[in-house]
C-alpha cells in the first residue's frame, strides 16, 4: 500500500510526464506541475531535491518503462514482429489522436529540445530509446533473426516509428503513421 508521500510523488511525476510530452522541457514550469498535480510546493523539493531536472528525468524513466512494458506485452501476444509493431503503432497513434495531437512520444519532445545542451536529460532519453530498441531486438531474435540483424533492424523500426509520430503530430494527421506501417510490413517481412 502506497503512503501519502508516495502518492504525492507519483502525482508529481505523472503531471510532469503529461506536461513535458505536450509542452516540452522549457514549456513546462514547476508552478504548472504543482497546479496539475495538486501537490504542495514543499513536497516537490522534498521528493525531488534535484529540482526540475530530477523530476523530468524520473518522468522520462517512468514513461520509458511503461512503453518498454507495452512492447514486451504486445510482443508476447503477437504471432510475428510485424503484428507486434502494428499493434504498437495503433496504441501510439490512438493515444496521439485522443490527445488531439498534443502528445506523441514521451521522450521525443524532450530529446529534440535539450539533447544537445543538457547531458543528464540527453542520457535519460538515450536510455529510454536504448531500452525500446533492446526489447524490439529481442522480439526479432525470438522470430529467428540473427543478433546483429535484429539489433540493426530494431533501430530502423524505432526510427520509423519515432519519425512517423513526429510527422503525424506536426501535420495533425495519422497519415505518416499509416505510411510507416506499410513500409514496416515490407521491412519486417524480409
Q: What is d(CA 23, CA 45) in angstroms, rounded to the nearest whole number?
A: 22
**Cell of residue 143, nine digits:** 522470430
| Best CA proximity match to 68, nearest among 127, 121, 13 | 127
Q: Are the beta carbons of 168 and 104 closer than 8 angstroms?
A: yes
Residue 78 located in a structural domain: yes
| The model scores a pTM over 0.75 | yes
Sequential pLDDT tens for the chain (190 residues) = 568 888 999 999 999 999 999 999 999 999 999 999 999 999 999 999 999 999 999 999 999 999 999 999 999 999 999 999 999 999 999 999 999 999 888 799 999 999 889 999 999 999 999 999 999 999 999 999 999 999 999 999 999 999 999 999 999 999 999 999 999 999 998 6
Write down the pLDDT at residue 1. 56
| pLDDT in the model for residue 2 | 61
Within a domain: residue 103?
yes
Let me know if residue 166 belongs to a domain.
yes
**Does 146 map to a domain?**
yes
Residue-number span of the structural domain to which 103 is assigned = 52-189
Instruction: Answer whether residue 100 is part of any domain.
Output: yes
pLDDT at 139: 93
- Dihedral, CA of residue 44, residue 47, residue 49 and residue 54, to nearest 10: -90
Task: Map the chain to HEC letters.
Answer: CCCHHHHHHHHHHHHHHHHHHHHCCCCCCHHHHHHHHCCCHHHHHHHCCCHHHHHHHHHHHHHHHHHHHHHHHHHHHCCCHHHHHHHHHHHHHHHHHHCCCCCCCCCHHHHHHHCCCCHHHHHHHHHHHHHHHHHHHHHHHHCCCCHHHHHHHHHHHHHHHHHHHHHHHHHCCCHHHHHHHHHHHHHHHC
Is residue 79 assigned to a domain? yes
Given this model, what pLDDT does residue 185 score? 93
pLDDT at 116: 87
For the chain, what is the domain count? 1
Distance CA 101, CA 187 (A): 27
In a domain, 140, yes or no: yes
Assign residue 59 the CATH number of its domain: 1.10.357.10
Would you state the cell numbers that stand for residue 22, as one nine-digit string? 505536450
154 assigned to some structural domain: yes
Amino acid at each position: 500500500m502506497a503512503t501519502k508521500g508516495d502518492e504525492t510523488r507519483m502525482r508529481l511525476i505523472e503531471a510532469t510526464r503529461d506536461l513535458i510530452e505536450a509542452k516540452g522541457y522549457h514549456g513546462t514550469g514547476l508552478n504548472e506541475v504543482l497546479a496539475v498535480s495538486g501537490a504542495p510546493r514543499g513536497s516537490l523539493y522534498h521528493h525531488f531535491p534535484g529540482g526540475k531536472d530530477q523530476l523530468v528525468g524520473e518522468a522520462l524513466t517512468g514513461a520509458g518503462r511503461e512503453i518498454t512494458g507495452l512492447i514486451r506485452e504486445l510482443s508476447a501476444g503477437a504471432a510475428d514482429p510485424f503484428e507486434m509493431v502494428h499493434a504498437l503503432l495503433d496504441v501510439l497513434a490512438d493515444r496521439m489522436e485522443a490527445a488531439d495531437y498534443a502528445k506523441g512520444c514521451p521522450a521525443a519532445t524532450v530529446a529534440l529540445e535539450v539533447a544537445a545542451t543538457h547531458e543528464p536529460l540527453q542520457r535519460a532519453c538515450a536510455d529510454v530509446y536504448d531500452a525500446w530498441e533492446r526489447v524490439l531486438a529481442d522480439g526479432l531474435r525470438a522470430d529467428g533473426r540473427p543478433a546483429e540483424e535484429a539489433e540493426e533492424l530494431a533501430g530502423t523500426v524505432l526510427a520509423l516509428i519515432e519519425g512517423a509520430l513526429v510527422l503525424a503530430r506536426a501535420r495533425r494527421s495519422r497519415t505518416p503513421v499509416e505510411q510507416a506501417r506499410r513500409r514496416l510490413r515490407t521491412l519486417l517481412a524480409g
